[in-house]
Structure 1
Amino acid sequence: MTLSTTTLSPLTAPQNDTSRGISRRTRGQGHGPIVRLMSPSDLGQLLKPFVFLDLFEADASFTGNMPLHPHSGIATITVITEGNLHFDDPDAGSGFIGYGGVEWMRAGAGVWHGKEMSAGTSARIQGFQLWIALPADLENAPVDSQYLEAPAIPQVGPARVILGDYQGIRSPVRAPSGVNYLLVTLAAGQRWEYEPPTGHEVLWLSVSRGAVHSPQLIQAGELVAFTPASGTLKLEAGDKEGAVFVLGSAIPHPHDLKMGNYSVHTSLEALRTGEAKIAELGKRLRAESVQRSGSVSVPIYK
């Protein structure tokens, strides 16, 4: 992916500087209705455990073209910022994920998925899909999925707590500790401050609608990374329209990323284990597909 940034280097801040200035910014690279803002081979190296971010916007029917595909070693988090999608999972039931709701899937040891979400009641959808690299004790753990509709996600002021803890409020998503992920909506001219928990040196933000000032301008479609510091991030929406954005902060992931086509792990051994598992699952999935009669949906295969 080609980034609209300077050559990547470790994020550093001057000693005793507690400001949260912007260190990197990108508009990513478009692939039809999807813009890839971050991947494990670029900004994901600097913002880990956040390693992958897509911003998607399309006719809701585009989800029907999503093929079954595997993952291991990571968790995926899908957040909708406009419209809604329908979820259908034999283990979790069915319902709708709209603004403020979330799909969480810890791929762990290995999973094939891609058919659990389909068009909802809205003509168009917009949202983010985020990957986080899992810690060593979870990267080869069993698969864990959650579908949480908007009323289940707690809110603190204009922020919905998608992952982690914020101002004493904890998300119900079963994510590893040390990671916060918020969905924030500001009215035109509204100010908001985020004080990251102790140790959350990693901090980034991506706007899906409108613009915010930090005080530097951050526009829709951009992802920005902030320098590591202990200071509060102060934001203000533009005075003409409101803004919708996601914000992530975390304790830095301590491992070098070991990457496969669909996997991210903490070691080559864990990567080999994960890739062997998804290859085994793929072989079984294909064999069972041949045996099935008619068209049978397989939302998640684990």
Structure 2
Amino acid sequence: MNTSKTPPPASHGQVTQRRVVHRTRGQGHGPITRLMSPSDLGRFLKPFVFLDIFDMDLRRGPGNRMPIHPHSGIATVTVLTQGRMNFEDPDAGSGTLDYGGVEWMRAGGGVWHGQEMSPADVPRVQGFQLWLALPQELESSQPESRYIEASAMPRSGPAHVIVGEYDGVRSPVPAWGGVNYLLVTLRPGEAWTYQPPAGHTVGWMAVASGTVDAGESLLAGEVAVFEDGQAAIALRNGGDADAVFVLGTAVPHQHELHLGSYSVHTTAQALKTGEQRIADLHAKLLAAGDRRTAAGTVPVYR
């Protein structure tokens, strides 16, 4: 994605803002739509390397659950935009996540997961799962998981600060510096301007529901990439219903991406080490037998 020929930034009211230089609806498969992968947009938006939006109609039965699968070298961030999910983990407690709540998992040197949350008694669950490429000093670190209920997630105006720090508000998610990830709801006609911190030249957003004017009209199910730079991102709800979206900005990840099936690392050797750790964990996971909790969840295996 070459943005060097992008026209000068447009004006949104009195605010000079970054222009949208790419937009896509991704590729859907059942209840999941892949909006970003490490082999496409993730190469340009790293440390943001992967984004799914999921939308499950639970009235059709429980057949949409993810299989247990591994990761290494990344952190995953799951936020809900509709519905509720229950969690139960001997190391991380139990509770319920809804709009504004977060599941954070730093896979580090390797984990197996996929069923650590189960739908609550709701007809529909919608949300985003994001992968962040870990800094080199953390890519082989000890894994950790956090489940943070909505009541503990801080806000600045219409934005829940999911990862990072914005407008003097810091997320309780134990991430490294240089990354912001926000969950935002704008009411009909409401405008909001985000000024990225210094060095956050990477920027994008994805719409869960409603319509957002970002210099051009963005619809539900779309991800939009902003030109590189430090200018503000000025947004307005352009529809007659609430607009719900996530927005990410960051200091660029400085390493090439070395990709496995479920892993992202900064070097070929780190990838090899991560995949070996995943294989070793798998043998132990099989030997552990049925780990399902009374709530129907299967805790992350570290």
Query: TM-score, normalised on structure 2?
Result: 0.92
Letter in 2 for 1:271: L
Partner of 2:144: 144
- Determine helix, strand or coil for the equivalent of 1:189: coil
Q: Deviations over 1:34-87 (max 9, x none)?
A: 000000000000100000000010134647632111000000000000011001
Partner of 2:45: 47
Partner of 2:102: 102
Letter in 1 for 2:182: L
- Determine helix, strand or coil for the equivalent of 1:235: strand
CA distance in 1, matches of 2:258, 2:29: 25
Partner of 2:12: none
User: Mind listing any 5+ residue stretches in structure 2 that lack a counterpart?
Assistant: 10-15
Partner of 2:13: none
Letter in 2 for 1:29: Q
Of 125-134 and 16-25, the range deviating more from structure 2: 16-25
CA distance in 2, matches of 1:183, 1:56: 15
CA distance in 2, matches of 1:78, 1:90: 19
Per the TM alignment, residue 230 of structure 1 is displaced from its structure 2 partner at its CA by 1.6
Partner of 1:263: 263
Partner of 1:134: 134
Would you say the 8 A contact 1:258–1:267 is kept in 2? yes
Would you say the 8 A contact 1:194–1:233 is kept in 2? yes
CA distance in 1, matches of 2:199, 2:300: 35
Identity of aligned residues (%): 55
CA distance in 2, matches of 1:89, 1:207: 30
Would you say the 8 A contact 1:11–1:46 is kept in 2? no
- Determine helix, strand or coil for the equivalent of 2:288: helix
- 1:282-293 correspondence runs (5 A): 282-289=282-289
Partner of 1:223: 223
Letter in 1 for 2:275: E
Partner of 1:250: 250
Partner of 1:59: 57
Per the TM alignment, residue 107 of structure 1 is displaced from its structure 2 partner at its CA by 0.1
Would you say the 8 A contact 2:102–2:148 is kept in 1? yes
Measured at CA, do residues 51 and 191 of structure 1 come closer, stay the same or move farther in structure 2, by a change above 3 Å? Answer: same
- Determine helix, strand or coil for the equivalent of 2:240: coil
Would you say the 8 A contact 1:200–1:251 is kept in 2? yes
Would you say the 8 A contact 1:74–1:133 is kept in 2? yes
- 1:155-234 correspondence runs (5 A): 155-234=155-234
Per the TM alignment, residue 14 of structure 1 is displaced from its structure 2 partner at its CA by 6.4
Partner of 1:6: none
Would you say the 8 A contact 1:69–1:113 is kept in 2? yes
User: Mind listing any 5+ residue stretches in structure 1 that lack a counterpart?
Assistant: 1-8
CA distance in 2, matches of 1:185, 1:15: 29
- Determine helix, strand or coil for the equivalent of 1:177: coil
CA distance in 2, matches of 1:63, 1:155: 34
Per the TM alignment, residue 300 of structure 1 is displaced from its structure 2 partner at its CA by 1.2
Per the TM alignment, residue 16 of structure 1 is displaced from its structure 2 partner at its CA by 8.5
Partner of 1:121: 121
Would you say the 8 A contact 1:50–1:132 is kept in 2? yes
Letter in 1 for 2:79: V
Query: TM-score, normalised on structure 1?
Result: 0.92
CA distance in 1, matches of 2:6, 2:66: 45
Count matched residues. Answer: 293
Letter in 1 for 2:78: T
